[in-house]
């Protein structure tokens, strides 16, 4: 059976500070760096060998991917980066402290923005320092597809073509695949893979560690799902 391993990036500096991150290109914290290395060690211990890896264009996921592959002695595995695996764009909430946002907008409103499937947060101004419209890594994209805010529904809509064009065909070819991405881009793909309802996905959380493994049969039917854990002595 082929394996798909999802690794959410390790803790970032903004995770640590309790800030909304989204498309802001924030680095891993010291703890997050260690989580990525530990993820690779678990992969090695489990004997999982990859043929292809995919990640986003944000450094916290790229570094997690590289560190995990290195720690599992697989740094040579081809890695393809795509904006379609980026974190959900948190719009005008980007850079705000989550507790302060709750004070400003109300607990309930912030909870709806964070957890509802199809409610958009406030849009980011195009001249905001974190706007993707002026970021060189997105220069090849049509400006109309660059978001100013996303919910999980929109995140799935832009991640799904990458699943259909890249990840699923690789799995069907019998390749084991590593995806180093983000809490919400992984949640979006998990929703699609498991055919979860809009309500069901709201209860799904993806931790920074450990990695999540899906095993599929030849027809890409999900057979097994589990988190990697250290082998008991």
- What are the residue numbers of the active site? 9, 87
Terminal C-alpha separation, the chain: 26
How is residue 48 written in tokens? 């999982």
Tokens of 189: 């793909």
Q: What secondary structure does DSSP assign to the chain, as a single string?
A: -EEEEEEEPPPBHHHHTTB--TTS-PPBPHHHHHHHHHHHHHHHHHT---SEEEE-SSHHHHHHHHHHHHHTT-TTS-EEE-GGGSPPP-GGGTT-BHHHHHHHH-HHHHHHHHH-SSPPPPPPPTTSTT-GGG-GGGTTS-GGGS-S---HHHHHHHHHHHIIIIIHHHHHTT--EEEEE-HHHHHHHHHHHHT--TTGGGG----SSS-EEEEE-TT--EEEEEE--PPP-
């Amino acid at each position: 059976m082929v394996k798909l391993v999802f690794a959410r990036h390790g803790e970032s500096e903004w995770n640590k500070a309790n800030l909304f991150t989204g498309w802001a290109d924030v680095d891993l914290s010291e703890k997050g760096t260690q989580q990525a290395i530990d993820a690779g060690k678990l992969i090695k211990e489990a004997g999982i060998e990859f043929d292809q890896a995919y990640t986003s264009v944000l450094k916290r996921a790229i570094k997690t991917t590289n560190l995990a592959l290195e720690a599992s002695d697989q740094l040579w595995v081809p890695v393809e980066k795509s904006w379609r695996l980026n974190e959900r764009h948190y719009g005008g909430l980007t850079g705000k402290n989550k507790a302060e946002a709750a004070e400003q907008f109300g607990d309930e409103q912030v909870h709806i923005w964070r957890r509802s499937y199809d409610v958009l947060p406030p849009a980011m101004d195009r001249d905001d320092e974190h706007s993707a419209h002026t970021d060189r890594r997105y220069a090849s994209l049509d400006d109309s597809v660059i978001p100013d805010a996303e919910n999980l529904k929109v995140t799935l809509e832009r991640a799904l073509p990458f699943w259909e064009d890249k990840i699923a065909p690789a799995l069907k070819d019998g390749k084991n695949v590593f995806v180093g991405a983000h809490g919400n881009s992984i949640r979006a793909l998990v929703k699609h893979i498991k055919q979860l309802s809009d309500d069901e996905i709201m209860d799904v959380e993806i931790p920074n560690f450990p990695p999540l493994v899906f095993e599929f049969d030849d027809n890409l039917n999900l057979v097994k799902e589990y988190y990697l854990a250290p082998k008991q002595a």
